[in-house]
Structure 1
């Protein structure tokens, strides 16, 4: 379990039952689930001579597959062909490099700064968790159009130096074009800050991770913020992170639909 995942467990709900596209899906017609189940369920006193469907060929398979096909068509129609412009610009800048493995919910972004290696980790799982708690402001016209930009994403930065032992770890929340720092920790063993294993996470739990950032002297907070800004942890990156998270979430959702449909149709 990564440090980011451990922090997220205590801060955001783990349920992922509500997706970003829930408001869109709800507007499309759906056949009542109860009626389908009732129609497909045989009478209790049916004869044992009635042949049962073979495994993988249930009476509801076709309905589920058709619904997934409908959803895939909708997603294809709404998707932008090719690589989005914001991603092209980010890559062209050549400052940060993206680590994104298909099928994983965590994304890594890293860069070199002098003799430092800086790595940022965030998770698209926070998008769904954040929507469950989000309440759009009342009385503001166009508030619904800005909902996605208001979702907070938890981020974990680590800064290491190959010539010096230890690592600096910064926990922050990315929201509305800014990184709000919550904690700055120092690990004498850099592996504890960067290792994503369960063993490393267990070792981190018993360590003193430093005071809450907001309790530090204001002048020290300001110097830390300048320190991060100089390393590219700034407004530009804070706008990119949620935009990329939504882009990845959309790709993962389409991939999930395709995999589920292929399994059901087999």
Structure 2
């Protein structure tokens, strides 16, 4: 859910609330006895014709209308052109964005010497955080104007492999407020075990030592690891890009969801 959509839900009744009110009103009218059949008959015929347009459900037409309104609003609120932050990121030519439509995970990949570095993050984190913030607003809590725009945390996973040697170095981190906070760094002798997103690889990882918590390492070791990551482009600039792209990706997926659901309901 985009920030614009969240604000619209706070500012006024949602389309789902309006639809519920409309349905209740329609039910109340239907429950009244039809004293003038000559007036009620045309309305009944019009309703039955509309209902047959979209499957068998009596609510299909109303739902389609609400989906159309929401889709129109989202398209007007968001530009179809590629945003400047994404253009600038691509022009740097450091990271390649691997984004599959319909998936909630995004991968950034790059080469660094004989190393291949892959970063994965999910827009599911931004959705969960926005829902939690919206619930707080509904309970009466106000947000501060000084609060950072991208204050929600996004979990990230880095995998570093080398062409010349086996194994993989993986880093679990949290991206928040324009920086990365490293959780732990693991080493896997088998690169496939450390990097593949399969049930078999996940099962094998469960029985392996994943390394100590990063903040329990000697301070000097932590500092050198941070320099190691900075040199490979895992820096504050990347930590700013990830939440921006997460919002952009989430908005695209929501518009696509509206289109697909609307098309299915109207079939």
Give the alignment's TM-score, normalised by structure 1.
0.82
1:1-266 counterparts in 2 under 5 A? 20=3, 21-29=5-13, 30=15, 31=18, 33=20, 36=23, 39-40=26-27, 56-134=55-133, 141-143=144-146, 146=148, 148-266=149-267
Structure 1 stretches lacking a partner, 5+ long: 1-17, 44-51
Q: How many residues align?
A: 240
Q: Distance in 1 between matches of 2:142 and 2:266?
A: 47
Note the C-alpha offset of 1:190.
0.3
- In structure 2, the partner of 1:15 is none
Q: Distance in 2 between matches of 1:214 and 1:265?
A: 54
| Greater share of residues in helix | 2
Q: Distance in 2 between matches of 1:62 and 1:26?
A: 26
Is residue 40–residue 59 contact of structure 1 (8 Å, CA) maintained in 2?
Answer: no
Is residue 173–residue 182 contact of structure 1 (8 Å, CA) maintained in 2?
Answer: yes
- In structure 2, the partner of 1:9 is none
- In structure 1, the partner of 2:37 is none
Note the C-alpha offset of 1:19.
6.8
Structure 2 stretches lacking a partner, 5+ long: 32-47
Which protein is bigger by CA-based radius of gyration?
2
Q: Distance in 2 between matches of 1:223 and 1:133?
A: 36
Note the C-alpha offset of 1:64.
1.1
How big is each residue's C-alpha offset from its partner over 1:147-180, in whole Å with a ceiling of 9 and x where there is no partner? x410110000000002111000000000111010
Q: Distance in 2 between matches of 1:59 and 1:32?
A: 13
* RMSD between aligned residues: 2.6
